[in-house]
Amino acid sequence: MILFLFLSHLAVGIVFTLALVSREAGVKFFRFNAGLAAVLLAIALGFRRAGAPGAAEWTLVVSEAAIVLYWATVGRTLASIRPAIVLVAVWGGTAALILQAFAVTAGDSVPMKLLTVASFLSSAALLGGTCTAMILGHWYLVIPSLEVRHLQSIVKMHIASMVVRITVVGAAVFAGLALSEAGPAPDVGNFRHYITSLDGIFFWQRVLFGLAGPAVLSYLTWETAKIRSTQSATGILYVDFFTVVVGEVLAKYLLLATRVPL
């Protein structure tokens, strides 16, 4: 379940960025990212829970079909309807994340359901933005003449998604502590006791590696992108992406362990 959630969020996040990066990045860039998203989503569907597929799985299948169609046609044919294909993939992925959130929080209160929806969407945006920024930084070796403003633009989006992700996690921690203040709660159990116990090391690792680390690294990336040092920015983005991956995998584990959407 952890791998299913993580891989599907990463794939959908990459799909989000297909509509945000300039066409000047070139056909091969979009083909590579679309292919990567399609492969990740196919692997994610392989990790879904046994049994009949639910609504979330079927909407992921729709998104997968649209991504594969986009990958197969980009730079070749169907140019006039390609924006519509991307739109289907984006909306299918968004709907899938919302349905995933409601499935995972079945029986929980409405506030926790909404926080989980916000957590899943912000997780996808952070993962996809970081991954695509890293790939775009590397793409300056493929297209040396590519304007540096494209990297600067996606780094800005990465920082914005980082701010949103920290805000959502902060709200989830506040809600978890508030619900467990009077003792074990139906939604989150004794969350306060969990994060102060030995098991809470996973929570603190999630905060350190998944939030504090990427926050610092995204700022450093922006500073290097401002001085047009694309190679240095790309090197930082590799480390940044690794810390984001560690943090988001831990977030999925903590969600299943504590029912708090971190």
Please determine, for residue 53, whether its predicted confidence score (pLDDT) is greater than 80: no
State the virtual CA torsion across 69, 70, 76, 82 in degrees, nearest 10: 110
pLDDT given at position 258? 84
**Of the candidates 258, 104, 120, the residue with the CA atom closest to the CA atom of residue 186:** 258
Instruction: Sketch the domain layout of the chain as residue ranges.
Output: 2-258
**Of the candidates 206, 222, 36, the residue with the CA atom closest to the CA atom of residue 132:** 36
The helix, strand and coil proportions of the chain, stated in percent and rounded to the nearest 5, come to 80, 0, 20
User: At 47, is the pLDDT very low, low, confident or very high (cuts 50, 70, 90)?
Assistant: confident
pLDDT given at position 181? 63
pLDDT given at position 228? 85
pLDDT given at position 145? 83
What b/e sequence results for 45-79 when a residue is b if at least 16 CB atoms lie within 10 Å of its CB, and e otherwise?
beebeeeeeeebbebbbbbbebbbbbbebbeeeee
The pLDDT tens digits of the residues spanning 99-140 come to: 999 988 887 778 888 999 999 999 999 999 999 999 998 898
**Of the candidates 168, 185, 125, 163, the residue with the CA atom closest to the CA atom of residue 262:** 168
**Summary count for the chain: helices (H), strands (E):** 10, 0
Please determine, for residue 65, whether its predicted confidence score (pLDDT) is greater than 70: yes
At residue 200's C-alpha, the angle toward residues 241 and 243, to 5°, is 5
User: At 192, is the pLDDT very low, low, confident or very high (cuts 50, 70, 90)?
Assistant: confident
Task: Give CA–CA dist 13/94, Å, rounded.
Answer: 9
Q: Please, are residues 1 and 124 in contact by the beta-carbon 8 Å criterion?
A: no
- Please give the class, per CATH, of domain 2-258: mainly alpha
pLDDT given at position 240? 94
Q: Alpha helices, DSSP H only, in 181-208?
A: 191-196, 201-207
Q: How far is CA 33 from CA 36, 56, 77, 129, 244, in A?
A: 5, 23, 18, 12, 18
Please tell me which residue, 220 or 198, carries the higher pLDDT value: 220
Structure token digits, residue 57: 């799985």
Asked whether the whole model's pTM tops 0.85, one would answer yes
Mean pLDDT, range 145-160, rounded to an integer? 89
Please determine, for residue 167, whether its predicted confidence score (pLDDT) is greater than 90: yes
User: At 180, is the pLDDT very low, low, confident or very high (cuts 50, 70, 90)?
Assistant: low
